[in-house]
A and B are shown apart, each in its own frame.
Chain A
């Protein structure tokens, strides 16, 4: 916690002096409080106007039937009951999102970690490899979606072309086949894995060299060093990546929306949660229903994060450097 009277420790005077000083200090504290609040005021105003108010309003909307044009009509929990019991597309979009999260989060983290491990060795042209792996993350999602449609076009795309020419294989329908559509999207998220690679790489470079030297003296090989030094020390980074990716994947929207024109086809296999939410809100104008979906998403993300935090016993923190909130 923050010391309320930072200078108190250096005081040595008598009680009277101390009293005078504490008055002066409370003045200083008040002045600091004033300046602190002035400096953070943009964010505070934003917190109230662009975060707190909408969260509250969205909870209130979720209990109404609301189409913007006419005033909201109170319906209680009907929206929630309807989506949970009587909406096949809702359950489809939720299960699609959960399946894709289970598919994509572990794979992306593992691939990012593997690539970072390789890049961390003394290989030639490390900086070039790093750039090549990072650049795909810069492609705007709309362009990325169109690019993926064309690469994996079953009839004329280069992927099936290469499969045919090199291996004589008739490639699958990729994004047009309900069994292949999610794996194809997974390939896209693997192509844009560079962000995680850069973060893992930085984490790897933070590991003190002395630990590896100590392991060398004990006669440890590459595999043992990775298992007993690198991985334990990187668990905080893995943990951070896990939380961030889950939050992001539950909100996946742009790429599948552009690829399918918002339809989520084939067989609704690319209809993700936020796509369906968007449709409820801005196609069907069912703002109440969509707000309920948004709140449910919020609760799901919250629950996931809590579970991850509760089960974070595997995360290794060295030297009490835990948390960002402690003063550095």
Chain B
């Protein structure tokens, strides 16, 4: 048996090797194409203004002009925007951490009539396009005087995000029901089971949710664009867009600012890559 399979594998070996070699070359080419935009951003961020108008444009700056970074963070109140964005991001993370695991527990380890129906309702709400709720919510928040505050950006997250609830629920389902049932027989209350048994077991999933929310708050554009008026209140994404609409030719500064905006995310991603990929996998596959 074994030898048969072995020799069969041996005969086709070269075609397999050839395909793999072609794949490798293709992947290398694609990787280079994927990296080049970053490289161009980085190199532009170090060029002098006159070099931007060169034809054909060279990849490398004549001298590394680190000054651009200093200029970029002083042209716009960069650190103020970073601080604002951080405040919104932290508030949002707190919101989803309080609401989403709680709801996911109610949708997984407690058996109650109507649960599965409401869960389907929740999944269907993911399909609702944002513009449908955008206008009435804007009117509502305007009426209670929340325009130009961070409340419309943060508060809704304390009421759960269907996508994260779904992700956490899928994760909670991997914890055997016997475990929570045993705790119930021992007389533990539901809040206690949730707090002392489920939550400590689901730290990786919680980390994934934190990451997703960080990414979404950090990059969010439409939300802050709608609700923030004073430039003092702007987030970094809106600030960058404003800067672009006022100085749309100063790409050396725009690229420096974009680099500062992007690098923290890439560093964080690199540190927690595995959790992140697992999170995507969990929702992407179980969603089928």
Contact = CB atoms under 8 A, between A and B. Distances in A.
Interface of A: 1-4, 6, 29, 32-33, 35-40, 42-47, 49-51, 53-55, 57-58, 61, 68, 115, 118-119, 121-124, 128-136, 138-143, 146-147, 150-151, 153, 155-158, 161, 164-165, 191, 195, 198-199, 202-203, 206, 216-217, 219, 221-222, 236-237, 239-240, 247, 250-251, 253-254, 257-258, 261, 274, 277-278, 281-282, 287, 290-291, 293-295, 297-298, 301-302, 305, 324-325, 327-328
A54 B136 contact: yes
Contact of B26 (A118, A146, A253): A118
B160 A150 contact: no
Given A46-B156, A50-B156, A199-B284, A251 B131 contact: yes
A223 B102 CA distance: 47
- Central interface residue in B59, B237, B284, by most chain A CB within 10 Å: B284
Nearest to B284: A199
A301 B127 contact: yes
Interface of B: 5, 8-9, 12, 15-16, 19-20, 23-24, 26-27, 30-31, 34-38, 40-41, 44, 52-57, 59, 98-99, 102-103, 105-107, 110-116, 118-123, 125, 127-140, 142, 156, 158-160, 162, 165-166, 170, 173, 190, 194, 215, 218-219, 221-222, 226, 237-238, 240-241, 244-245, 251, 254-255, 257-258, 261-262, 265-266, 269-270, 273, 277, 280-281, 284-288
Given A142-B221, A247-B127, A129 B135 contact: no
A281 B135 contact: yes
B37 A136 contact: yes
- Central interface residue in B36, B130, B165, B244, by most chain A CB within 10 Å: B244
A298 B257 CA distance: 36
B265 A2 contact: no
28 contacts: A38-B190, A39-B190, A42-B102, A43-B165, A46-B156, A50-B156, A54-B140, A55-B132, A118-B27, A123-B23, A129-B31, A133-B34, A135-B269, A136-B37, A140-B218, A140-B237, A142-B241, A142-B261, A147-B41, A147-B258, A199-B281, A203-B284, A240-B287, A247-B127, A291-B136, A324-B123, A324-B170, A325-B116
Contacts of B30: 115, 133
Ranked 9 nearest A-B pairs via Cβ: A46-B159, A39-B106, A199-B284, A36-B112, A140-B219, A236-B288, A57-B136, A54-B133, A54-B136
A40 B106 contact: yes
Contacts of A161: 55-57
Nearest to B251: A150
A122 B286 CA distance: 25
B106 A122 contact: no
Contact of B24 (A2, A123, A253, A295): A123
